[in-house]
Copies of this chain bind each other. A is one copy, B any other.
Amino acid sequence: MFSIGKLGRAARVKVPTIRYYEQIGLLPEPDRSAGNQRLYPRTALDRLAFIRHARELGFPLDAIRDLLGLSDHPDQSCAAADAIARAQLDAVRDRIVRLKALEGELERMLDQCASGTISDCRVIEVLGDHANCAHDHDGKDLG
Binding site for B on A (CB under 8 A): 12, 46, 49-50, 53-54, 56-59, 67, 70-71, 73-79, 81-82, 84-86, 88-89, 92-93, 95-96, 99-100, 102-103, 105-107, 109-110, 113, 115-121, 123-124, 127-130, 137, 139, 142-143
- Min distance, Cβ A80 to any Cβ of chain B, angstroms: 9
Is the CB–CB distance between B106 and A99 below 8 Å? no
Copies in the complex: 2
Docked Cα-Cα span, A91 to B106, in Å, equals 11
Is the CB–CB distance between B58 and A117 below 8 Å? no
**Which one of B82, B88, B100, B115 lies within 8 Å of A121 (CB-CB)?**
B82
Is the CB–CB distance between B85 and A123 below 8 Å? yes
Is the CB–CB distance between B109 and A139 below 8 Å? no
With known contacts A46-B128, A89-B103, A99-B95, A118–B78 Cβ distance under 8 A: yes
